Amino acid sequence: MIPISEIFYSIQGEGKFVGCPSVFVRVGGCNMRCFGFGKEGCDSYYAVDKKFKSEWKLMKIDEIKKEISKYLKFNPHLVITGGEPMLYYKKLYPLLEWFENPITIETNTTVDIDFEKFSLYKKVIFAMSVKLSNSKEPKEKRIKKNVIKKYAKNKESFFKFVIDKDLNDEIQEIVKGFDNQIYCMPLGATKEELEKNAPFVFEFCLKHGYCYSDRIHIRLFGKKKGV
């Protein structure tokens, strides 16, 4: 059984596959809190904060497949997100064996997984959202270079950083030795916060040759869940 916060069909609003119709499976639970991103923590606090645990549904893999199947007629991507999905990487594995279209997993890239035994993870595109100091998580907890090295082997996997100020030294320290694409997106759990940070991040990306990612769902729907 896997704790699931929500499963929904929407348009990918950020990162490399922005605009693609996608089914989102959001697991409940994370090994971080990221209080630097707001007083509730990250924008998916309801999938992280244990006080929302009663809203998470413990689902069998077949139940998850059944829910995803409702949307297969749209030929969607599958996005596994959270919380931190890789906490459940063994239990989620049957989804990788079953789903035929591209799969992206959004991860903080700290969970050391066995890529040899669970080899289909080698084909997964990871949105490696390694946390920076603005998350207010301790450095030794958020940056695990030996783990990033394994996730970054698929060259389609990409880095995705959330920024609100010039954190380029930190970004460079993390990406050193990797040639995966780098996306930066504005910190912002609300439309107002996003609009405030977006112009700086746009200029920052231009200056350093990074890809800019907006957050379409925040612009259109603010804090609404399931979009």
Contact positions vs ligand SF4 (CB under 6 A):
30, 32-34, 41-42, 44, 48, 82-84, 108, 131, 135
Kindly tell me which of 22 and 81 has the beta carbon lying closer to ligand SF4.
81
Nearest distance, CB of residue 106 and ligand SF4, angstroms: 8
Closest CA to 154 of 105, 97, 89: 105
Are 106 and 92 in contact by the 8 Å Cβ rule? The answer is no
Shortest CB 82 distance to ligand SF4, Å: 5
In whole angstroms, how close is the CB of 35 to ligand SF4 at the nearest point?
A: 9
* Shortest Å, Cβ 41 to ligand SF4: 5
- Looking at beta carbons only, is 77 or 131 nearer to ligand SF4? 131
208: tokens are 């350093």
Which is nearer to ligand SF4, 71 or 124 (by Cβ)? 124
Whether cis (ω within 30° of 0) applies to the bond prior to 83 is: yes
Handedness of CA 139, 33, 2, 108 (dihedral sign): negative
Determine whether 126 is exposed, middle or buried from the number of CB atoms within 10 Å of its CB (0-12, 13-18, 19+). Answer: buried
Q: What is the DSSP letter of 217?
A: H
Q: Which is nearer to ligand SF4, 50 or 149 (CB)?
A: 50
